[in-house]
């Protein structure tokens, strides 16, 4: 089934479950604007998309306010939230398997510097040939742009490359660059979100993902 040579992996919600760290960091930022959220579950929508866009979409922040909110977010995230994170069960086995005969690349909206720290923290950086994230100034945070950059910079063959992610932004990025995609069902995109965006494949669990590449 999976006749691909290069696998692009989203990070948050695909390789790791970052919920506690991200939602606490968002909560910290919102309190700086006197916005208080009692239930951190209500901040799950921040997991995956570019942060500044989420502050604007979900809390009607101006572009300037969103930029400031991201700075506050990073005050907490850079020292605490980055480590309030865990690998999904089975991910290490998956990476061990697919790295034997595939090129693995991380394609994330998270800043590259943070993505690299997380990969090192979980000792999985060894499986990846390259890590491509956004810049700290917020540029290159859109998945379409990230995937295009990778295709051009790494000379990837489109029909041999697949994007694996848990949110619609991952699948949209794949569609816009004419590559295949896997929408996973164990992350933070709802089943409805994944089905509606029409990935090439919809795989619900890490175990099923491993089986697809076996």
Cα–Cα distance, 60 to 178 (Å, whole number)? 32
User: Which one from 10, 12, 142, 166 is the annotated catalytic residue?
Assistant: 10
Pairing of strands 201-203, 180-184: parallel
Cα–Cα distance, 170 to 165 (Å, whole number)? 5
What DSSP letter does each residue of 57-105 carry, written as one string?
HHH---HHHHHHHHHHHHHHHTTTGGGS-EEPTTHHHHHHHHTTTSEEE
Cα–Cα distance, 196 to 185 (Å, whole number)? 13
Q: Return the residue matching tokens 């506690």.
A: 20
Q: Is-catalytic flag, 12?
A: no
Residues forming the active site? 10
């Amino acid at each position: 089934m999976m006749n691909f040579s290069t696998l692009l992996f989203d990070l948050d919600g695909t390789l790791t479950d970052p919920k506690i760290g991200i939602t606490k960091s968002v909560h910290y930022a919102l309190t700086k604007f006197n916005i208080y959220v009692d239930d951190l579950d209500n901040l799950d929508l921040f997991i995956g998309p570019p942060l500044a866009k989420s502050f604007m979409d979900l809390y009607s922040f101006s572009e300037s306010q969103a930029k400031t909110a991201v700075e506050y977010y990073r005050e907490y995230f850079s020292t605490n939230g980055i480590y309030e994170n865990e690998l999904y069960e089975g991910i290490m086995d998956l990476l061990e398997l697919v790295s034997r005969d595939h090129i693995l690349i991380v394609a994330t909206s998270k800043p590259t510097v943070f993505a690299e720290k997380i990969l090192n923290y979980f000792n999985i950086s060894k499986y990846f040939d390259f890590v491509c994230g956004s810049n700290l100034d917020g540029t290159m945070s859109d998945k379409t742009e990230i995937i295009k950059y990778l295709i051009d910079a790494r000379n990837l063959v489109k029909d041999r490359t697949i994007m694996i992610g848990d949110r619609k932004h991952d699948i949209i990025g794949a569609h816009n660059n004419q590559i295949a995609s896997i929408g996973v069902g164990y992350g933070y995109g709802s089943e409805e979100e994944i089905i509606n965006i029409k990935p090439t494949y919809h795989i619900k669990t890490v175990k099923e993902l491993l089986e697809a590449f076996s």
